[in-house]
Structure 1
Amino acid sequence: MQPTLRRMLSEPAFRVELLTASDRLDDPLSWVSSSDLADPSPFLLPDQFVLTTGQQFQDVSGQGGYDDYVARLTASGVVGIGFGTEVVTTGTPPELLEACRAQGMALVEVPYDVPFVAIITWAAREIAREAAARDEWALAAQQAISLAAVSGGGVSAAIRETARQLDGAVLLYDAEGEFVEQHPAARIADRVVDAAQADVRTLLGRGRRAGAAQSVSGREIVVQTLGRGDRPLGALALVLSAPLDAPARAVMMTGAALVEVGRERDAADSAALGALGAHAVRLLVRGEADLTAALLAEATRAGAVDIGAVDPSSPVVVLVCAGASAEEVRRRLQRTARTATRTRVAATLDGELVAVAVASPDGEQWLRRAAEGAVAGLSAPHPIDRVDVALEEARAALAAASSATERTGESAVVGFADTSAGRLLDVLAGSGLPAVARLRLAEVRTTEEGEESLRLAALWFEHGCRWEAAAEAAGMHRHSLRTRVERLAARLDLDLESFPARAELWALLSLS
Structure 2
Amino acid sequence: MAPTLRRITAIVPLHLEVLAGRNGLDRPVRWVAVSELEDPTPFLEGGELVLTTGMRLSAGDAVPYVSRLVARGVSGLGFGVGLSHDAVPPAFAEAAESAGLPLVEVPRDTPFIAIGKAVSDLLAGEQYEEISRAFAAQGRLTRAALQREGPVAVVDRLSREIGGWALLLDPAGAVRHAADATGRHTGDKHAGPGDRRGAAGDWARETARSLEPEIARLRSAPSLASLALSTPDEHVVVQPLGRRGFFAVGSPRPFSPIAHTVVNAAGSLLTLALEQGREQRSAAAHVRSAVLRLLLAGEARAAAETLAALGMRLPGEPVTVLACDTADPEALTEALAGAAPGPRAGFAAMGTFTAPWEGLLVVLAPDLHADEVVALAARHGRVGVSAPGVEIARSESRVEDRMESPDPELDRAFTRAPDRAPDRALATALDRALDQARRALVSASPVARFSELAGRGLLSLLDPAAAASFAAAILAPLRDYGSRADLVESLRAYLASNGHWDAAAQRLGVHRHTLRYRMKRVSELLGRDLDDPAVRAELWIALCL
TM interval, shorter chain, is 0.7 to 0.9
Residues 193 and 318 (structure 1 numbering): CA distance in 2 closer, same or farther, change over 3 Å?
closer
Matched residue count:
477
Look up the match of 1:142.
Answer: 138
Determine if contact 1:377/1:416 at 8 Å carries over to the other structure: yes
SS at match of 2:531: coil
For 1:227-238, what aligned pairs fall within 5 Å after superposition?
A: 233-234=244-245, 236-238=247-249
Determine if contact 1:51/1:116 at 8 Å carries over to the other structure: no
Give the CA deviation at 1:506. 1.6
Counterpart residue identity of residue 216, structure 1:
S
Look up the match of 1:156.
Answer: 152
Look up the match of 1:16.
Answer: 17
- Looking at structure 2, the residues matched to 192 and 47 of structure 1 have their Cα atoms a distance apart, in angstroms, of 36
Counterpart residue identity of residue 387, structure 2:
A
Determine if contact 1:340/1:366 at 8 Å carries over to the other structure: no
Say which is worse superposed, 173-182 or 44-53, in terms of deviation.
173-182
- Looking at structure 1, the residues matched to 93 and 212 of structure 2 have their Cα atoms a distance apart, in angstroms, of 47
Counterpart residue identity of residue 29, structure 2:
L
Determine if contact 1:274/1:347 at 8 Å carries over to the other structure: yes
Give the CA deviation at 1:275. 1.8
- Looking at structure 2, the residues matched to 190 and 178 of structure 1 have their Cα atoms a distance apart, in angstroms, of 7
SS at match of 1:156: helix
Determine if contact 1:30/1:45 at 8 Å carries over to the other structure: no
SS at match of 1:146: helix
Residues 67 and 177 (structure 1 numbering): CA distance in 2 closer, same or farther, change over 3 Å?
farther
Residues 44 and 192 (structure 1 numbering): CA distance in 2 closer, same or farther, change over 3 Å?
farther
**Of 251, 258, 262, the match for 1:251:** 262
SS at match of 1:375: strand
Counterpart residue identity of residue 285, structure 1:
L
Look up the match of 2:64.
Answer: 67
Counterpart residue identity of residue 64, structure 2:
D
Determine if contact 2:31/2:47 at 8 Å carries over to the other structure: yes
2:254 is equivalent to residue 242 of structure 1: yes
Counterpart residue identity of residue 250, structure 2:
V
Look up the match of 2:383.
Answer: 376
**Of 325, 328, 333, the match for 2:336:** 333
1:351-379: per-residue Cα shift (whole Å, max 9, x none)? 22222234x25225423542258433222
Say which is worse superposed, 274-283 or 141-150, in terms of deviation.
141-150
Give the CA deviation at 1:346. 1.7
Q: Name the TM-score, length of structure 1 as normaliser.
A: 0.75
Look up the match of 2:474.
Answer: 440
**Of 430, 435, 438, the match for 1:392:** 435
Residues 455 and 334 (structure 1 numbering): CA distance in 2 closer, same or farther, change over 3 Å?
farther
Give the CA deviation at 1:215. 5.3
- Looking at structure 2, the residues matched to 173 and 340 of structure 1 have their Cα atoms a distance apart, in angstroms, of 18
**Of 230, 233, 256, the match for 1:216:** 230
Q: Name the TM-score, length of structure 2 as normaliser.
A: 0.71
- Looking at structure 1, the residues matched to 334 and 482 of structure 2 have their Cα atoms a distance apart, in angstroms, of 53
- Looking at structure 2, the residues matched to 224 and 17 of structure 1 have their Cα atoms a distance apart, in angstroms, of 46
Determine if contact 1:320/1:353 at 8 Å carries over to the other structure: yes
2:314 is equivalent to residue 293 of structure 1: no
For 1:109-188, what aligned pairs fall within 5 Å after superposition?
A: 109-110=104-105, 112=107, 115=110, 123-124=119-120, 126-173=122-169, 180-184=176-180
Residues 496 and 198 (structure 1 numbering): CA distance in 2 closer, same or farther, change over 3 Å?
closer
Residues 213 and 456 (structure 1 numbering): CA distance in 2 closer, same or farther, change over 3 Å?
closer
Determine if contact 1:199/1:223 at 8 Å carries over to the other structure: no
1:220-247: per-residue Cα shift (whole Å, max 9, x none)? 55566556xxxx55555443422423x4
- Looking at structure 1, the residues matched to 89 and 220 of structure 2 have their Cα atoms a distance apart, in angstroms, of 55
Counterpart residue identity of residue 537, structure 2:
A
Determine if contact 2:33/2:48 at 8 Å carries over to the other structure: yes
Residues 179 and 123 (structure 1 numbering): CA distance in 2 closer, same or farther, change over 3 Å?
same
Determine if contact 1:200/1:235 at 8 Å carries over to the other structure: no
- Looking at structure 1, the residues matched to 208 and 371 of structure 2 have their Cα atoms a distance apart, in angstroms, of 33
Give the CA deviation at 1:463. 5.1
Determine if contact 1:79/1:105 at 8 Å carries over to the other structure: no
2:321 is equivalent to residue 318 of structure 1: yes
Counterpart residue identity of residue 101, structure 2:
A
SS at match of 2:84: coil
- Looking at structure 1, the residues matched to 485 and 97 of structure 2 have their Cα atoms a distance apart, in angstroms, of 95
Give the CA deviation at 1:27. 2.9
5+ residue gaps, structure 2: 181-199, 341-345, 392-425
Determine if contact 2:3/2:119 at 8 Å carries over to the other structure: yes
Say which is worse superposed, 255-264 or 40-49, in terms of deviation.
40-49
- Looking at structure 1, the residues matched to 334 and 494 of structure 2 have their Cα atoms a distance apart, in angstroms, of 49
Give the CA deviation at 1:398. 2.0
Look up the match of 2:3.
Answer: 3
**Of 368, 374, 384, the match for 1:367:** 374
Determine if contact 2:288/2:355 at 8 Å carries over to the other structure: yes
2:315 is equivalent to residue 273 of structure 1: no
Determine if contact 1:196/1:221 at 8 Å carries over to the other structure: no
Look up the match of 1:303.
Answer: none
Residues 56 and 277 (structure 1 numbering): CA distance in 2 closer, same or farther, change over 3 Å?
farther
Look up the match of 2:197.
Answer: none
Look up the match of 1:415.
Answer: 449
Give the CA deviation at 1:345. 1.9
For 1:425-464, what aligned pairs fall within 5 Å after superposition?
A: 425-430=459-464, 432-445=466-479, 446=481, 450-451=485-486, 453-462=487-496
CA RMSD of aligned residues (A): 4.2
Determine if contact 2:228/2:236 at 8 Å carries over to the other structure: yes
Residues 398 and 177 (structure 1 numbering): CA distance in 2 closer, same or farther, change over 3 Å?
closer
5+ residue gaps, structure 1: 301-305, 406-410
SS at match of 2:146: helix
Counterpart residue identity of residue 136, structure 2:
A
1:115-163: per-residue Cα shift (whole Å, max 9, x none)? 3567556645544554454344334323332333334341111122122
Residues 270 and 135 (structure 1 numbering): CA distance in 2 closer, same or farther, change over 3 Å?
same
Determine if contact 1:177/1:200 at 8 Å carries over to the other structure: no
SS at match of 1:443: helix
- Looking at structure 2, the residues matched to 80 and 47 of structure 1 have their Cα atoms a distance apart, in angstroms, of 8
